[in-house]
Every structure is written in structure tokens, then in C-alpha cells.
Amino acid sequence: MVVIKKVENSIPIDFGEFVLEFSISDESIKRLDEAKKKYENSKLQDNSNLDEVREVLKETWITLFSQEDYEKVIKLAGDSTINFFIYLVQTIQGIQTEIEVRGSLENIQSYM
């Protein structure tokens, strides 16, 4: 009998008060790239007002997760755009790192 080791299909994002799951499907990874490009291509400048910044961050978050998840995180951030930005950056960096670790040659070879 061959026993197949199940691979996790998501990356948990632990905010302490709740945990979000980022699916590591091809579609989700494309959305991650899209979200990064959307943020990078936004016309935010140093003189952008806070409402513009918040809207771009919100759109980026909703691209990755959902409106409901956005509401949870912005509430956790104390309705602070700065805190929300920090959470978004940590989330994206964490997801990218986890994807790189899971997709590394060394990790793949451990299954062979």
C-alpha cells in the first residue's frame, strides 16, 4: 500500500484574536501578484491623502482575502490606516516566505 502524505492547501495567518487562511492555489498566487502590482502601480505619492491610501490598501486586502476579512483586520488595527498597512505588509511578506519555503528544491526533494 502506498500512503500519500497530505499537503496543506493553505497558509494560516494568525492575528492572535483570529486566524485567516490564505489558499495556496494557483489562482490565489496570481491574486497575490495582482495585489502587489495593484499597490505598486497605484498613484500614491507622499502627498496622497489618508483616504486615498486607505482605499488602495483596502482594495489590495480584498484582492487577497475578502471584504469580511478586511473588516476584521481594520477593526484589529484600531481603524488606523498605518497599523493596517503594517498588517498588510507583514501578511504579504509572510505568505511570500511560506510559498518560497514550500516550493524550495530542498523541500520538494524531501518528498522523493
Reported as a single tens digit per residue, the pLDDT across 1-55 is: 988 888 888 999 999 999 999 998 989 989 988 888 877 777 666 666 888 889 9
Q: Where are the beta strands (DSSP E) in the chain?
A: 10-14, 19-23
Instruction: Report pLDDT for 84.
Output: 95
Q: Where are the beta strands (DSSP E) in 1-107?
A: 10-14, 19-23
**φ and ψ of 80, to 5 deg:** -105, 120
pTM summary value: 0.80
Distance CA 94, CA 33 (A): 14
Locate 94 and state its grid cell. Answer: 509572510
Instruction: Report pLDDT for 105.
Output: 57
β-partners of residue 10 are 23
Tell me, yes or no, whether 71 lies in a domain.
Answer: yes
Tell me, yes or no, whether 4 lies in a domain.
Answer: no
Tell me, yes or no, whether 98 lies in a domain.
Answer: yes
DSSP-based three-state secondary structure for 13: strand
Tell me, yes or no, whether 1 lies in a domain.
Answer: no
Instruction: Report pLDDT for 38.
Output: 76
The parent domain of residue 91 ranges over 10-109
Selected residue with higher pLDDT from 41 and 91:
91
Tell me, yes or no, whether 58 lies in a domain.
Answer: yes
